[in-house]
Chains A and B, each alone.
Chain A
Amino acid sequence: MRDLPQIYAQQFKTSLAMMLQYRASLVIWLIAHVLEPLIFLVVWSAVSRSSGGSVGGYSPGDFAAYFIVLMLVNHVTYTWVMYEYEYEVRHGTLSFALLKPLHPIHSNIADNVSSKLITLPGMAVVAVILALIFRPVFHLQLWALAAFIPALFLAFLVRFLMEWMLALAAFWTTRVSAVNQVYFVVALFLSGQLAPIALLPLPVRVAAFILPFRWTVGFPVELFLGKLTPMQALTGIAVQLVWLGLSLLLMRVVWRAGLRIYSAVGA
């Protein structure tokens, strides 16, 4: 364990070198990440204006703030491990990772974090431009901003572990993209990426509370924007901790079971 910082540092250098090889795809990737929240932002602002300047308490300025912060939070917590494992299991390159004296999740995390750090400045510039165009309204509170930092960190961990486990579906099925599709549709709805959870019908709100999705994206956004009471904030962080604990417990089981299959059918 004591060598992990060094390994992460090295992985960071490698990821950096790799990403800089693909400057064009970085730009395309950035555009894709901006477009989705941008579309929802435009749609909801229009809806808000046409219904007299407010939908469920959200003004056009509130929607602008919500989707710009959402874009940044989503950028921080987002992963692509599913695609990686699908490729690696299908092409057998995972075998190389298994021949190394290090759990592959470490290079997955290091790769994710380093890519984020590289793309973050680009996202920040985009956020500023969007803010100038859409005039967001912020009701910031100091305690909420302080609570936002651990909430964001937990959101990243929970989402990473959850999607990493989902990525291991590649051990069981060659149709991982179908599994991903289902996941993305549910996540879009329940994480708050489509609309603030507060605007959705009660059954959906209940589902969003019970399931992990909201806690990986929507919750930190709501917290940042001052939409939550201190009690709601504490509850949210507690729920995140529960999901983190469950994920940590479950990931070992899933990993071992997956490896058993991988090593049974031909690595």
Chain B
Amino acid sequence: MSTLPAITVSKLSKTYIVPVREAGVKAALGSLFHRRKEEIKAVDGISFNLAPGEIVGFLGPNGAGKTTTLKMLSGLLHPTAGEVAVLGHVPWKREKAFLRQITLVMGQRNQLVWDIPAADTFELNRAIFRIPQADFRRTLDELSELLELGPLLRKPVRNLSLGERMKCEIAAALLHRPQVVFLDEPTIGLDVLMQRRIRSFILEYNRRYGATILLTSHYMADVEAMARRVIVIHRGKLLFDGELADLVRRFTAHKTIVVQLGDCLADLKAYGEVVSCEDGRTTLRVPKAETARVTERLLADLPVIDLTVEDPPIEEVIERVFTQGSA
């Protein structure tokens, strides 16, 4: 079996040129005659590969360049510099053979026609993507079952809830069974239950069809559940590319120790930084290297009912990555 990457990105950059104007009448008049332009580097020389069938989480704060990168990978944006290849195609050429094999789901925008049932948009996509009738029926049945679309397909899209609409959006984007799937915040604004359902669906799609998936999300639970590997970018530059567990290891100098003592009366300041104490459970933050020693002392000195050592929450790790990245 060939192990050619499904996606190759090499020294990819995108610079936007945007007009700038000071506030005020004078500046407004001035801009009539002389427009000042500013260059904004949205993506600045990033490189990475994705193997076929891989699911990778693409992380970064707002404005980091995630969406710009996804748009370059799906052919909507022309790179300023660098190379991109997706399934052997140059995305911005938007060849039909390429477009038939990819999809881009944007959680904040919708492709479904607002006033008519999703089933009608599905039919239109079937015609445009030239999906044979039998394949279409089978895929639609599978998607309906996995996403529990059933009665939603017959209702006008505008009458669907946000979560229901997102499920239909995802189905519409996958009817042609793309081999490469770009997901830009597919769970944004959804409740926890719906987020979980979409996550398990994406995993199932990946398992069934061996699709390569690159997804962005601000919900760390999404990333933890779906992606073993993450790519972190900040201000257009690549900060980290590797396993999620490595990211945690690399960027955390602390561990969290939770001790249950029965009450909150004891002063544990001597053992580490006290984060909180509730119902007799004290949370301590200690330097990673001292974890074993502190645990030993706690157990020796105090009437400990229970004790656990944990990595800090992933949100905290990511926050640290971003703040270190901008320092």
Contact = CB atoms under 8 A, between A and B. Distances in A.
B99 interface: yes
Given A13-B123, A18-B113, A93-B109, A100 B128 contact: yes
A51 interface: no
Given A266-B16, A267-B71, A101 B124 contact: no
Nearest to B99: A101
A248 B127 CA distance: 25
A18 B115 contact: yes
A263 B78 CA distance: 5
A267 B76 contact: yes
Interface string B48-81: 0000000000000000000010010011111000
A266 B77 contact: yes
Contacts of B121: 14
Contact of B128 (A91, A98, A101): A101
Contacts of B106: 95
Contacts of A13: 120, 123
B127 A101 contact: no
B120 A98 contact: no
Interface residues of B, number: 36
Where chain A touches its partner, the secondary structure class is: helix
B75 A98 contact: yes
A267 B173 CA distance: 18
Contacts of A7: 127-128
Q: How large is the interface on A (under 10, 10 to 19, 20 to 34, 35 or more residues)?
A: 20 to 34
B156 interface: yes
Contacts of B111: 93, 96
B103 A265 contact: no
A100 B103 CA distance: 9
Contacts of A31: none
A10 B123 contact: yes
A99 B73 CA distance: 11
Contacts of A14: 113, 116, 120-121, 123-124
Contacts of B130: 3, 101
Given A7-B128, A10-B124, A260 B78 contact: yes
Given A14-B113, A14-B116, A96-B111, A101 B123 contact: no
B77 A263 contact: yes
Nearest to B96: A101
A229 interface: no
A11 B78 CA distance: 29
A10 B127 contact: yes
B76 A98 contact: yes
A181 interface: no
A102 B128 contact: yes
A62 B228 CA distance: 78
A92 B77 contact: no
Contacts of A263: 76-78, 92
A102 B96 CA distance: 8
Most chain A Cβ neighbours within 10 Å, of B71, B103, B125: B71
A262 to B, nearest CB: 8
B99 A100 contact: yes
Interface in A4-19: 6-7, 9-11, 13-14, 17-18
Q: Which 8 A-B pairs have the closest CB atoms?
A: A267-B76, A10-B127, A101-B96, A96-B111, A263-B78, A101-B99, A21-B115, A17-B116
6 contacts: A11-B127, A96-B109, A98-B94, A100-B129, A101-B96, A101-B129
